[in-house]
Amino acid sequence: MSLVKSLRNAILYKGSNEFNKQELIGILVFTLKLMDVKSAKELIERGIKSGVIVEKDGTLIINEELLENEEKKECLRDEMASYIAKMLGWSKEDVVEEAEKLKDRYGDLDEKILVYLFGMDKGVDMSRFKDKLEV
């Protein structure tokens, strides 16, 4: 499950954007049953790295404004992945999974950029998305 959807669900469940690390892991894993413990820890690290989660005095604070921005990025990523999937006859999930593998070649780029590059790499005309990307 995506960073945005997982964190959004945790906020809705608790009614607050502030958690301690174990509490957030518990909500994601045991209460909402969205992922396993390892995935929850990785999601938190990804959130901290992207700035969506800020750690302050042992408390994880989810920046809801940045979360909203990430949500918009995910919408574009999903739109591109669906388009690529349609053009290649793949599933959207397979496109996103294969695009993630491009991190080995290009480094730690934003997911929407990876999906865009994956489409280009597979010969899909991605010109309709070029102006929507914020690099």
- Over residues 52-77, the pLDDT tens digits come to 999 999 999 999 999 998 888 888 99
- The Cα 44–Cα 131 span in angstroms is 31
| Greatest CA separation for the chain | 49
Rounded CA gap, 46 and 129, in Å?
Answer: 25
Please state, in angstroms and rounded to a whole number, the distance separating the CA atoms of residues 116 and 113: 5
Token readout for 7 is 């964190």
What pLDDT score was predicted for residue 135?
57
Q: What is the pLDDT of residue 69?
A: 86
Global pTM reads: 0.65
CATH architecture of 3-62: Orthogonal Bundle (1.10)
Strand 18-20 versus strand 59-62 pairing type: antiparallel
Q: How far apart are CA 22 and CA 122, in angstroms?
A: 41
Reading phi first (left if > 0) and then psi (alpha if -120 to 50, else beta), residue 19 is in: beta
